[in-house]
Amino acid sequence: MQDLVPKEYKERNSLVINPVKTCQPIGAMYAALGVHGALPHSHGSQGCCSYHRMHLTKHFREPVVASSSSFTEGASVFGGRANLETALKNIFAVYDPQVVAINTTCLSETIGDDIGSIINGFDVPEGKTIIHASTPSYVGSHITGFSNMVKAMIKQLSEKNEEAKTNNKLNLIPGFVDPGDIREIKRILEAMDIDYILFPDQSDVLDTPLDGNYDMYPEGGVTIPELNDTGNSQATIALGEFASADSAFELEKKHDVKPYILKSPVGIKATDELLMQLMKLTGKEVPAKIEKERGQLVDIIADTHHQFHGKKVAVYGDPDIVISLTEFVLSLGMRPVHVLTGTPDNKFEETVTEMMSDADWEYNITAGGDLFQLHQWIKNDPVDLLLGNSYGKLVARQEDIPLVRVGFPILDRSVHSYLPTIGYKGAILLVEKISGALLDRKDRDTDFELTEFVL
Protein backbone atom coordinates (compact mmCIF):
# COMPACT_ATOMS: atom_id res chain seq x y z
CA MET A 1 0.00 0.00 0.00
CA GLN A 2 1.14 3.52 -0.71
CA ASP A 3 -1.81 5.22 0.94
CA LEU A 4 0.40 7.33 3.18
CA VAL A 5 1.78 9.43 0.33
CA PRO A 6 0.25 12.89 0.64
CA LYS A 7 -0.56 15.11 -2.30
CA GLU A 8 0.83 18.12 -0.58
CA TYR A 9 4.60 18.64 -0.89
CA LYS A 10 6.66 19.07 2.24
CA GLU A 11 10.28 20.05 2.24
CA ARG A 12 12.51 17.01 2.12
CA ASN A 13 16.29 17.27 1.93
CA SER A 14 17.60 14.31 3.85
CA LEU A 15 15.03 11.55 3.80
CA VAL A 16 14.92 9.31 0.75
CA ILE A 17 11.74 7.26 0.43
CA ASN A 18 11.57 4.38 -2.06
CA PRO A 19 14.71 5.03 -4.07
CA VAL A 20 15.14 4.87 -7.83
CA LYS A 21 18.77 3.91 -7.57
CA THR A 22 20.95 1.57 -5.63
CA CYS A 23 24.61 1.36 -4.74
CA GLN A 24 27.71 1.15 -6.89
CA PRO A 25 28.94 -2.41 -6.23
CA ILE A 26 25.95 -4.12 -7.83
CA GLY A 27 26.65 -2.28 -11.07
CA ALA A 28 30.29 -3.29 -10.84
CA MET A 29 29.28 -6.89 -10.24
CA TYR A 30 27.04 -6.85 -13.28
CA ALA A 31 29.79 -5.37 -15.45
CA ALA A 32 32.27 -7.98 -14.21
CA LEU A 33 29.93 -10.80 -15.20
CA GLY A 34 30.39 -9.63 -18.77
CA VAL A 35 34.02 -10.74 -18.76
CA HIS A 36 34.62 -14.34 -19.74
CA GLY A 37 35.59 -16.60 -16.86
CA ALA A 38 35.32 -13.81 -14.30
CA LEU A 39 34.33 -14.16 -10.69
CA PRO A 40 33.20 -10.84 -9.23
CA HIS A 41 34.59 -10.27 -5.76
CA SER A 42 33.18 -7.86 -3.24
CA HIS A 43 35.74 -6.45 -0.85
CA GLY A 44 33.78 -5.74 2.29
CA SER A 45 31.47 -7.57 4.63
CA GLN A 46 29.52 -10.42 3.10
CA GLY A 47 26.09 -8.82 3.37
CA CYS A 48 26.65 -6.48 0.43
CA CYS A 49 27.74 -9.35 -1.79
CA SER A 50 24.74 -11.38 -0.74
CA TYR A 51 22.33 -8.54 -1.49
CA HIS A 52 23.89 -7.85 -4.86
CA ARG A 53 23.84 -11.47 -5.92
CA MET A 54 20.23 -11.86 -4.83
CA HIS A 55 19.11 -8.79 -6.65
CA LEU A 56 20.79 -9.62 -9.93
CA THR A 57 19.55 -13.19 -9.66
CA LYS A 58 15.99 -11.95 -9.30
CA HIS A 59 16.19 -9.78 -12.39
CA PHE A 60 17.78 -12.43 -14.62
CA ARG A 61 16.54 -15.67 -13.01
CA GLU A 62 20.02 -17.01 -13.56
CA PRO A 63 22.80 -18.03 -11.17
CA VAL A 64 24.88 -15.00 -10.18
CA VAL A 65 27.96 -16.13 -8.36
CA ALA A 66 30.38 -13.83 -6.58
CA SER A 67 32.69 -14.01 -3.60
CA SER A 68 33.31 -11.73 -0.66
CA SER A 69 36.16 -10.76 1.64
CA SER A 70 33.79 -11.51 4.54
CA PHE A 71 34.95 -8.69 6.81
CA THR A 72 34.41 -9.02 10.51
CA GLU A 73 34.86 -6.30 13.07
CA GLY A 74 38.62 -6.88 13.19
CA ALA A 75 39.04 -6.30 9.48
CA SER A 76 37.02 -3.13 9.79
CA VAL A 77 39.45 -1.79 12.35
CA PHE A 78 42.75 -3.07 11.02
CA GLY A 79 42.04 -3.04 7.30
CA GLY A 80 41.07 -5.77 4.92
CA ARG A 81 44.43 -6.80 3.48
CA ALA A 82 44.58 -10.18 5.21
CA ASN A 83 40.98 -10.94 4.25
CA LEU A 84 41.58 -10.12 0.60
CA GLU A 85 44.74 -12.20 0.43
CA THR A 86 43.06 -15.19 2.03
CA ALA A 87 40.08 -14.71 -0.25
CA LEU A 88 42.19 -14.67 -3.40
CA LYS A 89 44.06 -17.80 -2.37
CA ASN A 90 40.84 -19.66 -1.74
CA ILE A 91 39.19 -18.37 -4.88
CA PHE A 92 41.93 -19.54 -7.19
CA ALA A 93 42.22 -22.88 -5.41
CA VAL A 94 38.55 -23.72 -5.15
CA TYR A 95 36.75 -21.87 -7.93
CA ASP A 96 39.52 -21.49 -10.49
CA PRO A 97 38.29 -18.42 -12.38
CA GLN A 98 40.26 -16.86 -15.25
CA VAL A 99 39.66 -13.42 -13.83
CA VAL A 100 38.81 -12.01 -10.44
CA ALA A 101 37.10 -8.62 -10.64
CA ILE A 102 37.22 -6.87 -7.30
CA ASN A 103 34.90 -4.08 -6.30
CA THR A 104 35.03 -2.18 -3.04
CA THR A 105 32.07 -1.43 -0.79
CA CYS A 106 31.32 1.49 1.45
CA LEU A 107 33.03 -0.34 4.28
CA SER A 108 36.38 -0.92 2.59
CA GLU A 109 36.22 2.57 1.09
CA THR A 110 35.61 4.18 4.46
CA ILE A 111 38.50 2.22 5.94
CA GLY A 112 40.61 3.26 2.97
CA ASP A 113 41.96 -0.11 1.84
CA ASP A 114 44.33 0.30 -1.10
CA ILE A 115 43.34 -2.60 -3.33
CA GLY A 116 45.98 -1.84 -5.93
CA SER A 117 48.82 -2.24 -3.49
CA ILE A 118 47.33 -5.36 -1.91
CA ILE A 119 47.11 -7.00 -5.32
CA ASN A 120 50.61 -5.91 -6.24
CA GLY A 121 51.87 -7.85 -3.28
CA PHE A 122 49.86 -10.91 -4.22
CA ASP A 123 51.28 -13.79 -6.18
CA VAL A 124 48.76 -14.13 -9.01
CA PRO A 125 48.70 -17.64 -10.47
CA GLU A 126 50.11 -18.01 -13.98
CA GLY A 127 47.67 -17.01 -16.68
CA LYS A 128 45.16 -15.45 -14.30
CA THR A 129 44.08 -11.84 -14.13
CA ILE A 130 42.86 -9.60 -11.36
CA ILE A 131 41.13 -6.31 -11.99
CA HIS A 132 39.75 -3.94 -9.41
CA ALA A 133 37.50 -0.91 -9.26
CA SER A 134 36.80 1.56 -6.55
CA THR A 135 33.05 1.67 -6.04
CA PRO A 136 32.11 3.72 -2.98
CA SER A 137 28.38 3.43 -2.45
CA TYR A 138 28.04 6.96 -1.11
CA VAL A 139 28.82 8.42 -4.54
CA GLY A 140 26.53 8.19 -7.57
CA SER A 141 24.54 4.99 -8.06
CA HIS A 142 24.71 1.46 -9.42
CA ILE A 143 25.20 3.04 -12.84
CA THR A 144 28.32 4.80 -11.57
CA GLY A 145 29.56 1.46 -10.24
CA PHE A 146 28.98 -0.17 -13.61
CA SER A 147 30.87 2.62 -15.32
CA ASN A 148 33.73 2.37 -12.82
CA MET A 149 34.19 -1.36 -13.35
CA VAL A 150 34.17 -1.02 -17.15
CA LYS A 151 36.65 1.80 -16.85
CA ALA A 152 38.84 -0.41 -14.68
CA MET A 153 38.87 -3.04 -17.44
CA ILE A 154 40.24 -0.45 -19.82
CA LYS A 155 42.61 1.17 -17.42
CA GLN A 156 44.13 -2.08 -16.28
CA LEU A 157 43.93 -4.24 -19.37
CA SER A 158 43.83 -2.30 -22.62
CA GLU A 159 47.11 -2.26 -24.49
CA LYS A 160 48.47 -0.73 -27.63
CA ASN A 161 50.46 -2.87 -29.94
CA GLU A 162 53.13 -0.58 -31.39
CA GLU A 163 54.03 -2.50 -34.58
CA ALA A 164 50.65 -3.24 -36.06
CA LYS A 165 48.85 0.07 -36.15
CA THR A 166 45.29 -1.06 -35.81
CA ASN A 167 43.24 -4.19 -35.47
CA ASN A 168 40.60 -2.71 -37.77
CA LYS A 169 38.03 -3.14 -35.08
CA LEU A 170 35.45 -1.00 -33.44
CA ASN A 171 35.06 -0.97 -29.66
CA LEU A 172 31.49 -1.01 -28.53
CA ILE A 173 30.32 -0.45 -24.96
CA PRO A 174 26.62 -1.32 -24.73
CA GLY A 175 25.96 0.08 -21.23
CA PHE A 176 23.85 -1.31 -18.42
CA VAL A 177 21.51 -3.33 -20.63
CA ASP A 178 20.18 -6.89 -20.77
CA PRO A 179 21.71 -9.84 -22.64
CA GLY A 180 18.83 -9.57 -25.11
CA ASP A 181 19.97 -6.04 -25.96
CA ILE A 182 23.55 -7.12 -26.37
CA ARG A 183 22.54 -9.87 -28.77
CA GLU A 184 20.63 -7.29 -30.79
CA ILE A 185 23.61 -4.94 -30.99
CA LYS A 186 25.80 -7.79 -32.12
CA ARG A 187 23.25 -8.80 -34.73
CA ILE A 188 23.29 -5.28 -36.16
CA LEU A 189 27.08 -5.11 -36.16
CA GLU A 190 27.32 -8.49 -37.82
CA ALA A 191 24.67 -7.59 -40.37
CA MET A 192 26.83 -4.61 -41.28
CA ASP A 193 29.90 -6.82 -41.40
CA ILE A 194 31.74 -4.80 -38.76
CA ASP A 195 34.57 -6.30 -36.75
CA TYR A 196 34.07 -5.33 -33.15
CA ILE A 197 35.08 -5.80 -29.55
CA LEU A 198 32.03 -5.50 -27.35
CA PHE A 199 32.40 -5.16 -23.60
CA PRO A 200 31.14 -6.01 -21.11
CA ASP A 201 29.15 -8.80 -22.73
CA GLN A 202 26.69 -10.66 -20.48
CA SER A 203 25.06 -12.61 -23.30
CA ASP A 204 25.74 -16.33 -22.95
CA VAL A 205 26.47 -15.61 -19.29
CA LEU A 206 23.11 -14.50 -17.92
CA ASP A 207 20.85 -16.16 -20.47
CA THR A 208 22.26 -19.67 -20.62
CA PRO A 209 20.23 -22.73 -21.60
CA LEU A 210 19.09 -25.43 -19.21
CA ASP A 211 20.87 -28.54 -20.37
CA GLY A 212 21.41 -30.40 -17.13
CA ASN A 213 24.94 -29.12 -16.62
CA TYR A 214 25.92 -26.22 -14.45
CA ASP A 215 28.86 -24.26 -15.72
CA MET A 216 30.19 -21.71 -13.27
CA TYR A 217 31.87 -19.83 -16.11
CA PRO A 218 29.61 -20.04 -19.15
CA GLU A 219 30.87 -19.47 -22.66
CA GLY A 220 29.96 -15.79 -22.93
CA GLY A 221 31.83 -12.67 -21.93
CA VAL A 222 34.53 -10.53 -23.46
CA THR A 223 37.91 -12.25 -23.17
CA ILE A 224 41.08 -10.83 -21.69
CA PRO A 225 42.91 -10.85 -25.08
CA GLU A 226 40.00 -8.89 -26.50
CA LEU A 227 40.16 -6.36 -23.69
CA ASN A 228 43.92 -6.09 -24.20
CA ASP A 229 43.24 -5.42 -27.86
CA THR A 230 40.82 -2.51 -27.28
CA GLY A 231 43.76 -0.10 -27.41
CA ASN A 232 44.34 -1.08 -31.05
CA SER A 233 40.80 -0.39 -32.21
CA GLN A 234 39.97 2.48 -34.51
CA ALA A 235 37.19 4.02 -32.50
CA THR A 236 34.96 3.44 -29.49
CA ILE A 237 31.22 3.79 -29.51
CA ALA A 238 29.83 4.22 -26.02
CA LEU A 239 26.11 3.71 -25.68
CA GLY A 240 24.70 5.67 -22.80
CA GLU A 241 26.59 8.63 -21.48
CA PHE A 242 26.22 7.65 -17.83
CA ALA A 243 27.15 3.99 -18.00
CA SER A 244 29.68 3.99 -20.82
CA ALA A 245 31.22 7.38 -21.63
CA ASP A 246 33.98 7.35 -19.02
CA SER A 247 35.47 4.14 -20.37
CA ALA A 248 35.49 5.51 -23.91
CA PHE A 249 37.29 8.62 -22.71
CA GLU A 250 39.74 6.46 -20.82
CA LEU A 251 40.57 4.64 -24.05
CA GLU A 252 41.11 7.96 -25.75
CA LYS A 253 43.34 9.19 -22.97
CA LYS A 254 45.35 6.01 -22.80
CA HIS A 255 45.62 4.96 -26.42
CA ASP A 256 44.14 7.72 -28.47
CA VAL A 257 41.15 5.67 -29.58
CA LYS A 258 38.52 8.15 -30.65
CA PRO A 259 35.34 8.10 -28.53
CA TYR A 260 31.81 8.55 -29.82
CA ILE A 261 29.21 8.92 -27.11
CA LEU A 262 25.68 8.08 -28.19
CA LYS A 263 22.40 7.67 -26.45
CA SER A 264 21.31 4.20 -25.52
CA PRO A 265 19.68 3.17 -28.83
CA VAL A 266 16.12 2.86 -27.58
CA GLY A 267 13.56 4.06 -30.10
CA ILE A 268 13.79 5.12 -33.70
CA LYS A 269 15.83 8.30 -33.40
CA ALA A 270 18.52 6.93 -31.14
CA THR A 271 18.85 3.79 -33.27
CA ASP A 272 19.11 5.94 -36.41
CA GLU A 273 21.94 7.84 -34.76
CA LEU A 274 23.77 4.63 -33.94
CA LEU A 275 23.48 3.35 -37.50
CA MET A 276 24.58 6.68 -38.95
CA GLN A 277 27.61 6.67 -36.71
CA LEU A 278 28.45 3.09 -37.66
CA MET A 279 28.19 4.02 -41.35
CA LYS A 280 30.40 7.05 -40.92
CA LEU A 281 33.04 5.16 -39.02
CA THR A 282 33.18 2.07 -41.19
CA GLY A 283 32.04 3.22 -44.59
CA LYS A 284 29.61 0.35 -44.66
CA GLU A 285 25.99 0.47 -45.74
CA VAL A 286 23.01 -0.31 -43.60
CA PRO A 287 21.85 -3.65 -44.96
CA ALA A 288 18.42 -3.95 -46.51
CA LYS A 289 17.10 -6.25 -43.82
CA ILE A 290 17.80 -3.71 -41.07
CA GLU A 291 16.32 -0.90 -43.18
CA LYS A 292 13.23 -3.05 -43.62
CA GLU A 293 12.89 -3.44 -39.86
CA ARG A 294 13.02 0.32 -39.53
CA GLY A 295 10.31 0.63 -42.14
CA GLN A 296 8.17 -1.85 -40.28
CA LEU A 297 8.57 0.16 -37.10
CA VAL A 298 7.54 3.37 -38.88
CA ASP A 299 4.59 1.53 -40.38
CA ILE A 300 3.46 0.30 -36.98
CA ILE A 301 3.72 3.72 -35.39
CA ALA A 302 1.81 5.39 -38.24
CA ASP A 303 -0.94 2.78 -38.12
CA THR A 304 -1.40 2.97 -34.36
CA HIS A 305 -0.62 6.61 -33.61
CA HIS A 306 -4.12 7.20 -32.31
CA GLN A 307 -3.43 4.92 -29.38
CA PHE A 308 -0.58 7.08 -28.16
CA HIS A 309 -1.35 10.60 -29.23
CA GLY A 310 -1.46 13.06 -26.36
CA LYS A 311 -1.27 10.39 -23.68
CA LYS A 312 0.51 11.54 -20.56
CA VAL A 313 3.35 9.40 -19.35
CA ALA A 314 5.75 9.26 -16.41
CA VAL A 315 9.19 7.80 -17.12
CA TYR A 316 11.57 6.77 -14.32
CA GLY A 317 14.62 4.60 -13.86
CA ASP A 318 18.28 4.73 -14.82
CA PRO A 319 19.47 7.83 -16.63
CA ASP A 320 20.55 6.39 -19.99
CA ILE A 321 17.40 4.42 -20.58
CA VAL A 322 15.12 7.16 -19.25
CA ILE A 323 16.64 9.69 -21.64
CA SER A 324 16.10 7.43 -24.63
CA LEU A 325 12.64 6.36 -23.53
CA THR A 326 11.63 9.99 -23.15
CA GLU A 327 12.78 10.66 -26.68
CA PHE A 328 10.93 7.59 -27.89
CA VAL A 329 7.59 8.40 -26.27
CA LEU A 330 7.86 11.91 -27.71
CA SER A 331 8.30 10.35 -31.13
CA LEU A 332 5.12 8.36 -30.54
CA GLY A 333 3.21 11.58 -29.95
CA MET A 334 2.92 11.02 -26.21
CA ARG A 335 3.51 13.63 -23.55
CA PRO A 336 6.16 12.84 -20.97
CA VAL A 337 5.09 14.91 -17.98
CA HIS A 338 7.26 13.44 -15.24
CA VAL A 339 10.80 12.29 -15.97
CA LEU A 340 12.91 11.10 -13.10
CA THR A 341 16.10 9.24 -12.34
CA GLY A 342 17.57 8.39 -8.97
CA THR A 343 21.13 8.75 -10.17
CA PRO A 344 22.28 12.22 -9.18
CA ASP A 345 23.74 14.14 -12.14
CA ASN A 346 22.81 17.51 -13.60
CA LYS A 347 23.63 16.39 -17.12
CA PHE A 348 20.50 14.28 -17.01
CA GLU A 349 18.30 17.28 -16.38
CA GLU A 350 20.01 19.28 -19.11
CA THR A 351 19.64 16.52 -21.69
CA VAL A 352 15.98 15.88 -20.99
CA THR A 353 15.13 19.57 -20.79
CA GLU A 354 16.65 20.06 -24.22
CA MET A 355 14.57 17.19 -25.60
CA MET A 356 11.47 18.80 -24.22
CA SER A 357 12.12 22.19 -25.80
CA ASP A 358 9.10 21.87 -28.10
CA ALA A 359 6.76 20.68 -25.36
CA ASP A 360 3.80 22.97 -24.79
CA TRP A 361 2.75 21.27 -21.59
CA GLU A 362 3.94 21.43 -18.00
CA TYR A 363 6.51 18.87 -17.00
CA ASN A 364 8.84 17.84 -14.17
CA ILE A 365 12.39 16.61 -14.60
CA THR A 366 14.66 15.47 -11.78
CA ALA A 367 17.92 13.64 -11.27
CA GLY A 368 18.52 12.23 -7.81
CA GLY A 369 14.80 11.82 -7.13
CA ASP A 370 12.88 8.96 -5.57
CA LEU A 371 9.65 7.12 -6.16
CA PHE A 372 7.89 9.02 -3.40
CA GLN A 373 8.57 12.24 -5.28
CA LEU A 374 7.31 10.73 -8.52
CA HIS A 375 4.20 9.58 -6.71
CA GLN A 376 3.55 13.06 -5.36
CA TRP A 377 3.99 14.56 -8.83
CA ILE A 378 1.47 12.08 -10.16
CA LYS A 379 -0.99 12.90 -7.42
CA ASN A 380 -0.79 16.52 -8.52
CA ASP A 381 -0.67 15.88 -12.23
CA PRO A 382 -1.96 12.40 -13.11
CA VAL A 383 -0.69 10.35 -16.04
CA ASP A 384 -2.07 7.65 -18.34
CA LEU A 385 0.97 5.43 -18.22
CA LEU A 386 4.01 4.61 -16.10
CA LEU A 387 7.18 3.50 -17.81
CA GLY A 388 9.92 2.07 -15.61
CA ASN A 389 11.10 -0.75 -13.34
CA SER A 390 9.09 -3.10 -11.10
CA TYR A 391 9.00 -0.80 -8.09
CA GLY A 392 6.63 1.52 -9.91
CA LYS A 393 3.89 -1.01 -9.35
CA LEU A 394 3.38 0.52 -5.92
CA VAL A 395 2.39 3.80 -7.57
CA ALA A 396 0.55 2.01 -10.36
CA ARG A 397 -1.60 0.06 -7.89
CA GLN A 398 -2.27 3.00 -5.63
CA GLU A 399 -3.23 5.38 -8.42
CA ASP A 400 -4.67 2.78 -10.78
CA ILE A 401 -2.36 3.57 -13.69
CA PRO A 402 -1.04 0.98 -16.16
CA LEU A 403 2.66 0.20 -15.89
CA VAL A 404 4.93 -0.95 -18.68
CA ARG A 405 8.01 -2.56 -17.22
CA VAL A 406 11.26 -1.53 -18.79
CA GLY A 407 14.76 -1.06 -17.39
CA PHE A 408 16.31 -2.42 -14.21
CA PRO A 409 15.25 -4.17 -12.15
CA ILE A 410 12.28 -6.18 -13.37
CA LEU A 411 11.53 -8.66 -10.63
CA ASP A 412 7.89 -9.47 -11.12
CA ARG A 413 7.80 -10.42 -14.79
CA SER A 414 10.01 -12.72 -16.82
CA VAL A 415 11.61 -13.14 -20.26
CA HIS A 416 12.48 -9.41 -20.43
CA SER A 417 16.20 -10.13 -20.24
CA TYR A 418 16.07 -12.28 -23.35
CA LEU A 419 14.34 -9.71 -25.55
CA PRO A 420 15.79 -6.45 -26.82
CA THR A 421 14.56 -3.02 -25.87
CA ILE A 422 17.12 -1.41 -28.13
CA GLY A 423 17.23 -1.19 -31.91
CA TYR A 424 14.27 -1.20 -34.27
CA LYS A 425 13.31 -4.68 -33.15
CA GLY A 426 13.36 -3.56 -29.54
CA ALA A 427 11.26 -0.53 -30.39
CA ILE A 428 8.66 -2.73 -32.06
CA LEU A 429 8.44 -4.82 -28.90
CA LEU A 430 8.13 -1.69 -26.80
CA VAL A 431 5.33 -0.33 -28.97
CA GLU A 432 3.54 -3.62 -28.55
CA LYS A 433 3.86 -3.46 -24.78
CA ILE A 434 2.79 0.18 -24.50
CA SER A 435 -0.08 -0.28 -26.87
CA GLY A 436 -1.21 -3.41 -25.06
CA ALA A 437 -1.15 -1.69 -21.69
CA LEU A 438 -3.10 1.33 -22.90
CA LEU A 439 -5.68 -0.74 -24.73
CA ASP A 440 -6.13 -3.24 -21.90
CA ARG A 441 -6.96 -0.24 -19.76
CA LYS A 442 -9.33 1.15 -22.37
CA ASP A 443 -11.07 -2.23 -22.67
CA ARG A 444 -11.37 -2.48 -18.91
CA ASP A 445 -12.86 0.97 -18.59
CA THR A 446 -15.18 0.94 -21.61
CA ASP A 447 -18.82 0.24 -20.97
CA PHE A 448 -19.35 -3.43 -21.78
CA GLU A 449 -22.17 -2.60 -24.14
CA LEU A 450 -19.82 -0.36 -26.07
CA THR A 451 -16.96 -2.86 -26.29
CA GLU A 452 -15.25 -2.90 -29.67
CA PHE A 453 -13.30 -5.57 -31.51
CA VAL A 454 -11.20 -3.28 -33.63
CA LEU A 455 -9.02 -0.73 -31.87
Footprint of ligand SF4 on this chain (CB under 6 A)?
Answer: 23, 25, 48, 51, 105-106, 137
Contacts of 208 (CB under 8 A, 6+ apart): 62, 215, 218, 220
Minimal distance, residue 231 CB to another protein, in Å: 31
Assess contact for 42 and 49: CB atoms under 8 A: yes
Nearer to another protein, 242 or 391 (CB): 391
Q: What is the DSSP string of 85-151?
A: HHHHHHIIIII--SEEEEEE-HHHHHHT--HHHHHHTS-PPTT-EEEEE---TTSS-HHHHHHHHHH
Nearer to another protein, 210 or 302 (CB): 210
Minimal distance, residue 84 CB to another protein, in Å: 7
DSSP state of 285: P
Nearer to ligand SF4, 76 or 331 (CB): 76
Nearest-angstrom CA–CA distance, 190 and 188:
5
Nearer to ligand SF4, 51 or 249 (CB): 51
SS3 303: helix
Minimal distance, residue 306 CB to ligand SF4, in Å: 46
Minimal distance, residue 55 CB to ligand SF4, in Å: 10
Partner touching 83 among another protein, ligand SF4, none, CB below 5 to 8 Å by kind: another protein
Partner touching 335 among ligand SF4, another protein, none, CB below 5 to 8 Å by kind: none
Assess contact for 369 and 20: CB atoms under 8 A: yes
Minimal distance, residue 367 CB to ligand SF4, in Å: 19
**Amino acid identity, residue 111?**
I
Minimal distance, residue 43 CB to another protein, in Å: 9
Partner touching 448 among ligand SF4, another protein, none, CB below 5 to 8 Å by kind: none
Nearer to another protein, 139 or 429 (CB): 139
Q: What is the DSSP string of 134-155?
A: ---TTSS-HHHHHHHHHHHHHH
Nearer to ligand SF4, 113 or 207 (CB): 113
Nearest-angstrom CA–CA distance, 110 and 93:
30
